[in-house]
Copies of this chain bind each other. A is one copy, B any other.
Amino acid sequence: MSPTLLVRGLAKPATRLSSIRSIHSSMTPRGPALNLKTINPSILDVHYAVRGELAIKADKYSQQLASPGPSSGSNTTNVETLDHDLPFKHVVTANIGNPQQKGLNQKPLTYWRQIISLLEYPDLFEKHQELAEKIYPKDVIARAKSLYKEIGSVGAYTHSKGVLAIRKRVAKFIEERDGYPADPESIFLTAGASAGVSSILSIALRQGDGCMIPIPQYPLYTATLAYLNAEPLPYYLSEERDWSMDHDTLLKAVSEAKAKGTPVKALVIINPGNPTGACLSKEAMEAVVHLCYEEGIVLLADEVYQLNIYDPSHRPFISFKKILKSMPEHIANSVELISFHSISKGVSGECGRRGGYFECVNIDEKVMEQVYKMASVTLCPPVSGQIGVDLMVSPPPADSESYPLWKEETSLIHNNLKERSYLMAEHFNKLPGMSCNDAEGAMYLFPKIEMPQKAIEEAKKRGKEADVMYALDLLDATGICAVAGSGFGQEPGTYHIRVTALCPETKEFVGRFEKFHKEFMDKYK
Q: How far is B48's CA from A282's CA once the two chains are assembled, in angstroms?
A: 42
A256 contacts the other chain (CB 8 A): no
**A interface, how many residues as a size bin?**
35 or more
A71 contacts the other chain (CB 8 A): no
A402 contacts the other chain (CB 8 A): no
Q: How far is B223's CA from A31's CA once the two chains are assembled, in angstroms?
A: 30
B377 touches A156 (CB 8 A): no
Comparing A22-30, A268-276, A420-428, A486-494, the segment that makes contact with chain B is A22-30
Q: Which residues of B contact A350 (CB under 8 A)?
A: 155
B191 touches A363 (CB 8 A): no
With both chains docked as a complex, state the minimum distance between the C-beta of A130 and any C-beta of chain B, in angstroms: 10
Comparing A81-89, A288-296, A446-454, A512-520, the segment that makes contact with chain B is A288-296
B384 touches A382 (CB 8 A): yes
With A39-B370, A154-B352, A155-B350: A328-B384 Cβ-Cβ less than 8 Å: no
B328 touches A379 (CB 8 A): no
Comparing A96-104, A307-315, A393-401, A460-468, the segment that makes contact with chain B is A96-104
Q: How far is B204's CA from A124's CA once the two chains are assembled, in angstroms?
A: 46
Q: How many copies does the complex hold?
A: 2
With both chains docked as a complex, state the minimum distance between the C-beta of A20 and any C-beta of chain B, in angstroms: 10
Which residue of B78, B157, B247, B366 contacts A10 across the interface (Cβ within 8 Å)?
Answer: B247
Q: How far is B10's CA from A25's CA once the two chains are assembled, in angstroms?
A: 70
With A10-B290, A32-B367, A283-B9: A382-B40 Cβ-Cβ less than 8 Å: no
A121 touches B117 (CB 8 A): yes
Q: Which residues of B contact A206 (CB under 8 A)?
A: 38-41
Q: Which residues of B contact A228 (CB under 8 A)?
A: 40
Q: Which residues of B contact A354 (CB under 8 A)?
A: 191, 354, 379-382
A195 contacts the other chain (CB 8 A): yes
B370 touches A43 (CB 8 A): yes
With both chains docked as a complex, state the minimum distance between the C-beta of A371 and any C-beta of chain B, in angstroms: 9
A142 contacts the other chain (CB 8 A): no
A364 touches B102 (CB 8 A): no
Given contacts A36-B366, A75-B164, A101-B156, 16 further A-B contacts (CB under 8 A): A9-B287, A22-B293, A25-B293, A35-B367, A39-B204, A39-B370, A48-B377, A100-B153, A101-B157, A108-B155, A120-B120, A155-B349, A155-B352, A202-B227, A354-B354, A384-B384
Cβ contacts A to B, 10 pairs, < 8 Å: A12-B247, A15-B248, A32-B334, A43-B203, A117-B118, A117-B120, A155-B352, A191-B191, A191-B354, A194-B379
Q: Interface residues, chain A, CB within 8 Å of chain B?
A: 1, 5-6, 8-12, 14-15, 18-19, 21-22, 25-26, 29-36, 38-41, 43-44, 46, 48, 50-51, 59, 74-75, 77-78, 96, 98-102, 105, 108, 110, 113-114, 116-118, 120-124, 128, 131, 134-135, 152-160, 164, 168, 183-185, 191-192, 194-195, 198, 202-206, 220, 223-224, 227-228, 246-248, 251, 265-266, 282-283, 286-287, 290-291, 293-294, 296-298, 328, 330-331, 334, 336, 348-354, 362-364, 366-367, 370, 373-374, 376-385
